[in-house]
Amino acid sequence: MAKGEETRKFIIEKAAPIFNTKGIAATSMSDIMEATKLSKGSMYVHFENKEVLACAAVEHNMNMLAERLQKTLSRYKTSKEQLFAYTDFFSDPNHPPVVGGCPLLNFGTEADDTNPVVKEKVNRAIQQSQKLLSGIIEKGISNKEFKADWNAADFATVLFAMLEGGHLMARMSGDNDRMEVIVSNLKKMIEENSV
Amino acid sequence: MAKGEETRKFIIEKAAPIFNTKGIAATSMSDIMEATKLSKGSMYVHFENKEVLACAAVEHNMNMLAERLQKTLSRYKTSKEQLFAYTDFFSDPNHPPVVGGCPLLNFGTEADDTNPVVKEKVNRAIQQSQKLLSGIIEKGISNKEFKADWNAADFATVLFAMLEGGHLMARMSGDNDRMEVIVSNLKKMIEENSV
Amino acid sequence: MAKGEETRKFIIEKAAPIFNTKGIAATSMSDIMEATKLSKGSMYVHFENKEVLACAAVEHNMNMLAERLQKTLSRYKTSKEQLFAYTDFFSDPNHPPVVGGCPLLNFGTEADDTNPVVKEKVNRAIQQSQKLLSGIIEKGISNKEFKADWNAADFATVLFAMLEGGHLMARMSGDNDRMEVIVSNLKKMIEENSV
Amino acid sequence: MAKGEETRKFIIEKAAPIFNTKGIAATSMSDIMEATKLSKGSMYVHFENKEVLACAAVEHNMNMLAERLQKTLSRYKTSKEQLFAYTDFFSDPNHPPVVGGCPLLNFGTEADDTNPVVKEKVNRAIQQSQKLLSGIIEKGISNKEFKADWNAADFATVLFAMLEGGHLMARMSGDNDRMEVIVSNLKKMIEENSV
DNA sequence: TATGAATGAGCCTTCATTCAT
DNA sequence: TATGAATGAAGGCTCATTCAT
């Protein structure tokens, strides 16, 4: 039983970056076959169909991102440091934390009008992101690190949006010029709301 | 000679929203066939292959967006009004100016690692956007509408990024709550830099 | 009326080497279109369909070959010289008298089991070839150039077969080694039957 | 594992006569599908694409021919008998050893200017033919069956060429008159060089 | 006569999926 | 659990041909 679960994990790990890079529609089961060196039949032992595998890959990408982010954040103690670390974590979209770039952006835009299941997964991940961020801010307010009247939820939204928008700009241009502007603006805002 | 060009245009117009909604990979020539009620062979009279048609559709989507934006902006005279109008124009991603949502976001994320031609088209459209925005701001500075020390290019970047990020959030959640936060924050920033 | 016939001829001239090189099945009407720079519709003004055009091209190739052969033969007076000239005319299959190589071989093998019309055309051309050759030989016998008991029809057959077989060998190998053997053997046979 | 190879063989066996009869370009994958009663997808399990299948079919045709020829030759002991048997083996092109006629002629003329891979296959088969023939002759010379000064390589060339040329003539005319002339001439030459 | 837009059948190939082993 | 042969629908594209202009 352990074996099956292991293979399943193995397939997901190999599939995740492919789906995140090429997109769900453009990724074929043969692509995964080739990457895993497994047989076609084997894939269907572990995944009912392509959609199930794609969903698992979407989740894996988001989990990897969250995990790595958490690991990074855990190295900092103050809320301000954590906010800075969060921002820095996403500050180089051409060398992104997970292969293929931000899975929220990638799968979100693809799923948008075509795949409600994936869309909802992305939606929840965004909400979690927001919670994480506003949690940090609120903790900082309690800590007296941040001004008491700072609207945590709103800034979480602004920060997330700016990073995603910057992600797009950076990946399209291939350089980081715009992203640096965004990061420094974000940090200035944080600074302005620091006590 | 007019006939050919007319049909070509007709196909693009029918194809554009489909590509913008389903994505390039997930849109088949048969989809376009059905939408245009034209024969499969006819598509290939006017477009060498799917990629060429897709490119034309990408451009059409971006042109439609730009055109409608310009039309909206042209109704306003002051720079501040125009900045507000620009923001408002993108403020309701669930009822977007072009069917399928922002083509820059849609095609940009899909093309990213797979289609350099489309990627470059999106990149240029973003740069044009930036130019348009910073142009408005600079004019506003000359007009004494805006503070002289406002960094036009930087704010153009921030505004664009926030709107794209907000676009994603709004479409994923299906509601406009986050987008409203973003719009109001943006307007506040504009206000703060107004004389 | 002259104009129509002229265009028809023009198309045939452009089409003939293409058909002889690629074969009938592998040559598309678009290939001819491209070669003639004429419109698709124009082809069908002059030729009912592809088959009719192909037949015309087959005939043109055979006529060109016959014509050039005749021109060459006409430079010689004695039957022996003409037999030698005939042999020499076909002695370099990698630089053949008509583009694409021997149309009898090309169209004959393709038409064989699939196109009775072309097959019959090739058959007749072969028969004509035989008549031409045996005519030369018989004239030579009357002339006392050749031995009286030489079987004209039989040698015509042998000569033709050897040249076609050599043609195949030469074109496959890309060199003329085998063809030279054949030519010299043929000439020896002619010599042996000369008075 | 045996199953796959079996099906592959089965497909080739069914495809070979079709390719040899209609030609490579004129044979569609659907033709093979129909002949094998297999699904279209199944063909591509065993053959990368049409070209690979066509090459396999070309080889199969040549192998079948060689095999049947060898079987026939093996029934004779003396070199002269074998040379006669070789000639007889090819003496009835309208009832040829492999369906569709001589694959060397068929595929050679089609591949000529369009398919270097097949062309080279045919070239090698011709060279092998030549080796086989001159081997028989040389053995006969050692045996004192044939005159010592007979040029083995040259006669191998002449014999092969005459048979191929005769093949064309016979198949075009539908009768065997010319081929009989060729065969009897060939046998006379062999006789003349016999001790 | 000439054009080129339009057609739909058919081409080669890939796809996701199933199933016997 | 794992394999890979088998399937048939669907993919993108080319074909010969027609027809209004």
Closest nucleotide (C1' vs CA) to D6 is F5
Q: Alpha helices of chain C — where are they, by DSSP H?
A: 2-22, 29-36, 40-46, 50-73, 79-89, 103-111, 116-142, 152-173, 177-192
The residue with tokens 């269907």 is A44
Both tokens of residue A37? 């060196």
DSSP state of A27: -
Query: Which of C95, C115, C162 to mutate: most D Cβ within 10 Å?
Result: C162
CA dist., res. A132 & res. A152, Å (int): 11
Mean local confidence (pLDDT), A165-185: 98
| A167 within 8 A of A161, measured Cβ to Cβ | no
Mean local confidence (pLDDT), A62-89: 98
Percent of chain B with pLDDT over 90: 97
pLDDT of residue A2 exceeding 80: no
pLDDT of residue C37 exceeding 70: yes
Percent of chain C with pLDDT over 70: 99
Mean local confidence (pLDDT), A67-79: 97
Rounding to the nearest 10 degrees, give the CA dihedral for residues B59, B62, B64, B70.
Answer: -130
CA dist., res. B87 & res. D192, Å (int): 102
For residue A117, the one-letter residue type is V
Query: Which of A20, A133, A158 to mutate: most B Cβ within 10 Å?
Result: A158
Reported as a single tens digit per residue, the pLDDT across D3-36 is 889 999 999 999 999 999 999 999 999 999 999 9
> Chain A residues with CB inside 8 Å of B110's CB?
23, 109-110
Per-residue confidence band for D2, with pLDDT thresholds at 50, 70 and 90: confident
pLDDT of residue A19 exceeding 50: yes
Reported as a single tens digit per residue, the pLDDT across C96-149 is 999 999 999 999 999 999 999 999 999 999 999 999 999 999 999 999 999 999
The pTM score is: 0.93
Task: Give the model's pLDDT for residue B3.
Answer: 85
CA dist., res. A85 & res. A103, Å (int): 19
Query: C95: how many CB neighbours lie within 10 A of its CB?
Result: 7
Q: What is the DSSP string of D74-109?
A: TT--SHHHHHHHHHHHTS-TTS-SSTTS-HHHHHHH
On the 0-12 / 13-18 / 19+ scale of CB atoms within 10 A, A12 is buried
Task: Give the model's pLDDT for residue C2.
Answer: 67
Half-sphere exposure of D9 (CA within 13 A, CB side): 7
Contacts of A186 (CB under 8 A, 6+ apart): A87, A159, A162, A163
User: Which B residues 102-161 touch A at CB under 8 Å?
Assistant: 104-106, 108-110, 112-114, 119, 122-123, 126-127, 153-154, 157-158, 160-161
Per-residue confidence band for D192, with pLDDT thresholds at 50, 70 and 90: very high
pLDDT of residue B174 exceeding 50: yes
Percent of chain A with pLDDT over 90: 96
pLDDT of residue D73 exceeding 60: yes
pLDDT of residue B13 exceeding 70: yes
Reported as a single tens digit per residue, the pLDDT across A90-121 is 999 999 999 999 999 999 999 999 999 999 99
Task: Give the model's pLDDT for residue A1.
Answer: 47
Mean local confidence (pLDDT), C153-181: 98
D119 beta partners: none
Rounding to the nearest 10 degrees, give the CA dihedral for residues A23, A29, A34, A39.
Answer: 160
Mean local confidence (pLDDT), B25-30: 97
pLDDT of residue C1 exceeding 70: no
**CATH 3.30.70.260 correct for B55-192:** no
CA dist., res. A32 & res. A29, Å (int): 5
Mean local confidence (pLDDT), A171-186: 98
Both tokens of residue D154? 């040259």
